[in-house]
Amino acid sequence: MVTGESSQKLFTYAEVVDLTGICVEHLRNFAKRRHLGFIAHAAGAASHADHRLFTPWDLTIVVTLCPRCSH
């Protein structure tokens, strides 16, 4: 079971990794394949061009369909 704050509306990659136990690389690949999350457009931040934010619904899908990483 994954628990987060009820008032939290968006989760970053780091938060999803901490909550689910899935590594960043697997999470990125899974999110791209399943079209989960949405791309955050930071003004002038080219390094965050592929940075996604996840809704609680996206988090539920990730927890349900993506197994924890064992490495």
In a domain, 1, yes or no: no
In a domain, 5, yes or no: no
Q: Show the tokens assigned to 68.
A: 């924890």
- Do residues 65 and 34 make contact, with C-beta atoms less than 8 angstroms apart? yes
Tens-digit pLDDT profile for residues 20-46: 999 999 999 999 999 888 876 655 454
In a domain, 2, yes or no: no
Domain count, the chain: 1
In a domain, 71, yes or no: no
- Output the pTM of the full model: 0.73
| pLDDT over 80 at 70, yes or no | yes
Q: Show the tokens assigned to 46.
A: 């080219």
In a domain, 43, yes or no: yes
Residue 56, domain extent:
13-65
Q: Show the tokens assigned to 3.
A: 């628990």
9 Cβ contact list (under 8 Å, min separation 6): 55, 56
More confident residue, 4 or 24: 24
| pLDDT over 70 at 12, yes or no | yes
Calculate mean pLDDT across residues 50-68: 89
In a domain, 49, yes or no: yes
Q: Show the tokens assigned to 19.
A: 């909550």
In a domain, 4, yes or no: no
